[in-house]
Amino acid sequence: MAVGYQIWLYLSLLVWVLLLVLGFLTVLSYQKKNKEINNPTSASDSSSSSSSSSSESSPSEEEEEKYDVFLSFRGEDTRCGFIGYLYDALCKKGIHTYMDEQTLESGHEISPTLMKAIEKSKICIIVLSQNFASSTWCLNELVHILKCKRNENVIPIFYGIDPSIVRKQKDSYAKAFADHERRFRDNKMEKVKQWRDALKEVTDRSGYDSKNFRYECKLVEEVVGDILLRLAKYQSTNYGNLIGIEEPVKEIESLLSIGKMDGKMDARIIGIWGMGGIGKTTLASVVFQRCSYSHFDGYCFLEDTPEETDNIYHMRRRILSKLLKDPNLLCTDTPGVGSRFIQDRIRHKKIFIVLDNLNGRRSKLQELFEGYQFGNGSRIIVTSRDKQLLRTMAHAIYELKGLDHRDALQLFCFHAFGPNSLSTRYEALIESVARYAKGHPLALKVLGSSLKSKSIKEWESALEKLKTDADPDILKVLRISFDGLDDKRIQDIFLDMACFFTGGMVREDVESILNRNEHSDATNEIGVLIDKSLLIDRTKHLMPAYFPREKPFDLKMHDLLRQMGRQIVRDENKDAGNRSRLWTTKDVCRVLERNTGTSTIEGIELNLCGLKRDVNVSRIAFSKMNNLRFLKIMHSNVRYKLNHIKNWHEHIYLPDGLEFFISDEIRDFHNLCGLKRDVNVSRIAFSKMNNLRFLKIMHSNVRYKLNHIKKWHEHIYLPDGLEFFISDEIRYFHWDAYPLKYLPYLSPENLVEFIMRESQLEQLWNEAQPPELVKLKKINLSFSKHLIQIPNFSRAINLQEIHLRYCTRLVHIPPFFRNLNKLQLLDMTECNNLEDGIEHLPINLRYLTMDGTAIKSLPGSIWELKYLEKLDLYDCPNLRKIPEISNHMECLVYIALGGTEIEELPESIEHLTELNVLILNRWHKIKFLPNSLCKLLHLQHLELGECSSLEELPPLPHGLEYLDIHQCERLKSIAELPSSLRRVDANGCTSLETISSPGSPPKPPFRHSFSGYWFANCLKLDEDTRNNVIADRARLLSLPGQDDGPYFNYIMYPGDEIPEWFSYQTDGGNSINIHLPPNWFKLPLRFAFCIVFYELYNHVGTEYFTIEFEFNFKTNTRNSDDRLYNFCGTTDCIFPGTTDSDHVYIVSRALSHSELAKVSGPNWSSICSNITEASFRVSFRDSKDRSVRIIKKLGLVSVL
């Protein structure tokens, strides 16, 4: 009995559980059904819905917008007609649409469900019909829509009613509002006013008037197209993890010109060009997604096309299949002739095609659409690494470059850390990765993913490995371009440049070195490498030089491509002696010491900076290198003063009788920075290098003053009898700190560049029998202080550059120079024993630099050098006179004659009609300048500093931008400062009293960094000058600038009062707090500070002061200060270490968008919108980096 009762009890409980579950399922089913009623779109439609996230963070599911479109309409007017057609058309296009077709209007207020639906919709369509205004429900919907949505997200449709009736509320709308006012006159008239205002506002929005369409279907079609376009733009505001894509997308869309004269414009092809992994496919994909669905009748994205370019017929069938959407129609297409049947079906279609990664033979690609024509307004995007291919088919080509530094950091961090917060311990490592990748998106993604969740030690290890070995996944993508080169000659040139030409390159020089013979022209091959994105042509990006330069670096190779090229060479053979090119210190030293070089070797580069021991070169190290073209032994840090460089020649030991048989192929002889030990070169180290083309042993920082260079030659030991038989084919010979006094046998017939800086040479060759150097274009023997005379280059008829800086034993320029008709540059800086020979200079010379020499006079023939652009005789203490300028010098733009004993500048200076820069500093004896100076209409830069006897200035040229008259202690007045002046340095003009007011107002100096006016210690300036001339220029600093640059602009003068136009002022403090107006960040924000500081007698030991600005911001979301921006400006000699009285210092500083973004991240705009207050702090440090308190008063004005 008990058992039966228990069974009955268990069964009862089970029934109750089943009933509860059934009830729960019923509730769920009801809720789901109710949800479907309120969200009347099919499952297929909802699957097509799109959502957008804010720029700040990814919203939760509840916060995302559920609908693409919300339809607001008066049901009894339009539900069964127009609205039904519109809703159906929207759904067919996959547009997730909310239409309230179930809920009946009840009461005056709209339901919370509808309010939520409006808020969760991207676009609202308001159909204003005859009886729309009679429904308070519709009017409340309208008010809520306008409250929630921006202008571009609201589309009014005036259906069967004139917009003016709605705007002015006449006819049926007048009657409706008369009823509303009667019903709500007691307590809700404010609501009626809101309705009226809402109707007026909505008529100002861009929309549609049904009477402009003959057929409703056309109106529906137009509205749906508009919605698709708006949704595409709406979705484009969030690119997810596609960082840095916004601007390229805008550029491509601009080139596509979609929607502009589509009916008249033929099909347009746009090329996207760039190196592998740079993001061409990603960019094309984004543009395709934004544009294809809303603008075109058919579209096709053909991905990864290189494998198909040899089968154009198959590629064309794939495209036609996607456009026609019916494979059966392709049966009429044939390889030779296009199908008329297919042509009739596509010639009126506006189509959009993307051909991704297109490469191959150009002649075949031209056949791709042969026989077919697409409708007007069609667009085709082609992505490729081959620019020449794009030139043959595209109307315009867009070059896609790498990410900027900020975007590169953001992309890398996303893949390395994901949403996790970034530890400050990784910051330095992250910067290292970003510098390595150089903005290359694929590299940033691969490296970020590979380092994810790794420790700092693992990061450091990986980064150390990257210095020599790139990630194989990156190299695999990049190598496609190299393998696509169908000419081994072009591949060889790429490998030469990857292995031996680092940093910026001069194209002209590279071409000269890489031309193998008179029948070879590297110009075309380098052009192909540029077109294939394996080299970067920097010509378009070179800024015009303010001062003349020798040659600009117009070629560059991405570091990842360089690593790829070097890996290809490393893969040639495990044995370094059997590779074509050697550049690592370890490999070169091993080959030279062990005599393992072979005829395979074409180029050698040794950087002495890497030497950790001495190198003993084998006597026959070069004997087998028959094909050596390039020899470069250098030190990469020879830059400034010679006493900083060790005696590297003492570390490379060349044996007696060194067999230096350098191959006939050699062109480039070059880096001793890699040396970490001495190198003992084998006597026959070069004997087997039959194919050596490049030899480069150098110290790459040999540049400026001799006393910075240590003796690098002490680490390379060349044996007596070194067999140094250099090949007849050598093109480039570069050996820094060469340790011997003689040059071994050299066959220079094909030599293009010859560089032996800081050598121990006393002479190069037998002067009685100079070699024939017909191809030689450049020679550099700088810092060779044992060289006793300039070598005989009389047979170097094509010589263009001679560099002899710091060759201190040279005395004169020999007569044969006048026959060097192609010589363009002669640099003899600091040849301090050089006295004469200028009269022997050739007529075509362009750049002459002889500063620091013992030249006593200039011959009149100097003005016969009609192509001369630069004449530098600065700091020549024996030079006393300038000859009359007899000829018009139409090319001369730069003259430096400062630090000489010249007493007079001739009136004939006016013949230098194109002069830009004139430097006459430290002319202690000159009292007056010629009045003809004002005739130099192109003069922009004039330096007269420390002309201690100068008493007055003549009228100055109207285009002058920079004037230096510092320490002109006798100068009393300046007739007039040109309005063009951007910077004046009059520090220490203790006698200066007056400056005449300019005839025209001065120009704002905001385009030049550190521009301004400096009148420190000009204590005698009269009141008129201070109140007019100086005050006018000071006022300019408070005017808005048009640029977004972080430029300093300043003015300083004696005084102790802050101008009244500074709206914020304080006495004694060094900080000011201000309130910021709304939207202050929309334009670059510029601040002008005014600082009154005490006389500086207590800081006599200080050479200069630096100024430091700190900007801190406070948001309206928290109480604590958020330091979003901090800038420290250091301006070397911002003013002198001592002043004789109180001084006023006014400085302006722009707070640029790029700087705000750098500090506060990619969402800087959203963050800045919450900032309401700012704090500004100014401090000073002396030249010993000590904080000093010198501020007496502080003022600030903000400029928007």
> Whole-angstrom Cα distance, residue 524 to residue 531?
10
Q: Are 851 and 896 in contact (CB under 8 A)?
A: yes
Going by pLDDT thresholds of 50, 70 and 90, the confidence category of residue 1166 is: low
Residue 1121 has pLDDT above 60, yes or no: no
Q: How far is CA 641 from CA 365, 556, 708, 783, 859, in A?
A: 58, 28, 3, 10, 32
Q: Are 1127 and 1109 in contact (CB under 8 A)?
A: yes
**What region does 742 belong to: left with phi over 0, alpha with psi -120 to 50, or beta?**
beta
Residue 268 has pLDDT above 90, yes or no: no
Residue 828 has pLDDT above 90, yes or no: yes
Per-residue pLDDT at 42: 32
Q: Are 695 and 669 in contact (CB under 8 A)?
A: yes
Per-residue pLDDT at 884: 93
Per-residue pLDDT at 52: 27
- Please report, as a single letter, which amino acid is at residue 477: V
Residue 768 has pLDDT above 80, yes or no: no
Q: 536-537 and 555-556 as β-strands: parallel, antiparallel, unpaired?
A: antiparallel
Residue 1091 has pLDDT above 50, yes or no: yes
Residue 999 has pLDDT above 90, yes or no: no
What spatial distance separates the first Cα and last Cα of the chain, rounded to whole Å? 95
Tokens of 43: 């499952």
Residue 968 has pLDDT above 70, yes or no: yes
Q: Hey, which residues does 693 pair with through a beta bridge? A: none
Per-residue pLDDT at 820: 94
When comparing pLDDT for 13 and 85, which is higher? Answer: 85
Per-residue pLDDT at 944: 95
When comparing pLDDT for 205 and 63, which is higher? Answer: 205
Residue 799 has pLDDT above 90, yes or no: yes
- Can you tell me whether residue 174 is helix, strand or coil? helix
Q: Are 654 and 740 in contact (CB under 8 A)?
A: yes
With CA atoms as reference, report the closest residue to 395 among 301, 290, 531, 256: 256
Question: What's 910's DSSP letter?
Answer: G
Per-residue pLDDT at 107: 46
How big is the chain by its Cα radius of gyration, in Å?
39
> Whole-angstrom Cα distance, residue 684 to residue 58?
68
Q: What percentage of the chain has pLDDT greater than the value 90?
A: 24
Q: Give the H/E segment covering residue 1116.
A: none
Residue 263 has pLDDT above 60, yes or no: no
Tell me: the pLDDT tens digits for 513-539?
Answer: 887 666 567 888 888 888 888 888 866
Going by pLDDT thresholds of 50, 70 and 90, the confidence category of residue 1013 is: confident
Residue 100 has pLDDT above 80, yes or no: no
Q: What percentage of the chain has pLDDT greater than the value 70?
A: 72
The stretch 1029-1051 carries a mean pLDDT of: 62
Q: Are 294 and 229 in contact (CB under 8 A)?
A: yes
Q: What architecture is the 63-216 domain classified under in CATH?
A: 3-Layer(aba) Sandwich (3.40)
Per-residue pLDDT at 1002: 60
379: CB partners within 8 A, 6+ apart: 256, 258, 267, 268, 269, 270, 291, 296, 351, 352, 353
Per-residue pLDDT at 12: 61
Per-residue pLDDT at 389: 86
The stretch 494-523 carries a mean pLDDT of: 79
> Whole-angstrom Cα distance, residue 567 to residue 473?
13
Residue 303 has pLDDT above 50, yes or no: yes
Going by pLDDT thresholds of 50, 70 and 90, the confidence category of residue 30 is: very low
User: Within 10 Å of residue 758's Cβ, how many Cβ atoms?
Assistant: 31
Tokens of 432: 């290292």
Q: Could you please report the per-residue DSSP string of 418-464?
A: TTSPPPGGGHHHHHHHHHHHTT-HHHHHHHHHHHTT--HHHHHHHHH
The stretch 772-798 carries a mean pLDDT of: 90
Tokens of 774: 């017909």
Q: Name the least confident of 241-245, 252-256, 940-944.
A: 241-245
Residue 503 has pLDDT above 90, yes or no: no
When comparing pLDDT for 318 and 591, which is higher? Answer: 591
Residue 24 has pLDDT above 80, yes or no: no
User: Within 10 Å of residue 1187's Cβ, how many Cβ atoms?
Assistant: 9
Tokens of 332: 């009429």
Going by pLDDT thresholds of 50, 70 and 90, the confidence category of residue 693 is: low
Per-residue pLDDT at 832: 94
Per-residue pLDDT at 555: 85
Question: Domain 1048-1199: which topology?
Answer: Jelly Rolls (2.60.120)
707: CB partners within 8 A, 6+ apart: 641, 642, 643, 644
Q: Name the least confident of 240-249, 799-808, 870-879, 923-932.
A: 240-249
Catalytic residue among 141, 511, 605, 665: 141
Per-residue pLDDT at 382: 92
Per-residue pLDDT at 520: 63
When comparing pLDDT for 351 and 744, which is higher? Answer: 351
Catalytic residue status for 650: no
User: Within 10 Å of residue 944's Cβ, how many Cβ atoms?
Assistant: 24
Q: Give the H/E segment covering residue 408.
A: helix 405-417
Q: Name the least confident of 17-21, 129-133, 569-573.
A: 17-21
Angle at Cα 960 formed by Cα 958 and Cα 961, nearest 5°?
135
Residue 698 has pLDDT above 90, yes or no: no
When comparing pLDDT for 326 and 216, which is higher? Answer: 216
Per-residue pLDDT at 745: 63
The winner for highest mean pLDDT among 234-243, 810-819, 1152-1161 is: 810-819
Going by pLDDT thresholds of 50, 70 and 90, the confidence category of residue 627 is: confident
> Whole-angstrom Cα distance, residue 36 to residue 43?
10
Q: Give the H/E segment covering residue 98.
A: strand 97-99
Going by pLDDT thresholds of 50, 70 and 90, the confidence category of residue 109 is: low
SS (H, E, C) 1050-1106: EEEEECCCCCCCCCEEEECCCEEEEECCCCHHHCCEEEEEEEEECCCHHHCCCCEEE
Side-chain-facing half-sphere of 170: CA atoms under 13 Å: 7
Residue 965 has pLDDT above 90, yes or no: yes
Mean pLDDT for the chain overall: 78
> Whole-angstrom Cα distance, residue 587 to residue 602?
14
| 63-216 shares its CATH topology with 246-399 | yes
Domain edges within the chain: 63-216, 246-399, 405-467, 498-565, 573-760, 1048-1199
> Whole-angstrom Cα distance, residue 912 to residue 85?
79
Tell me the CATH number of domain 246-399, given options 3.40.1010.10, 3.40.50.2300, 3.30.530.20, 3.40.50.300: 3.40.50.300
The stretch 328-356 carries a mean pLDDT of: 78
> Whole-angstrom Cα distance, residue 129 to residue 283?
43
Q: Are 911 and 932 in contact (CB under 8 A)?
A: no
Q: Are 313 and 306 in contact (CB under 8 A)?
A: no
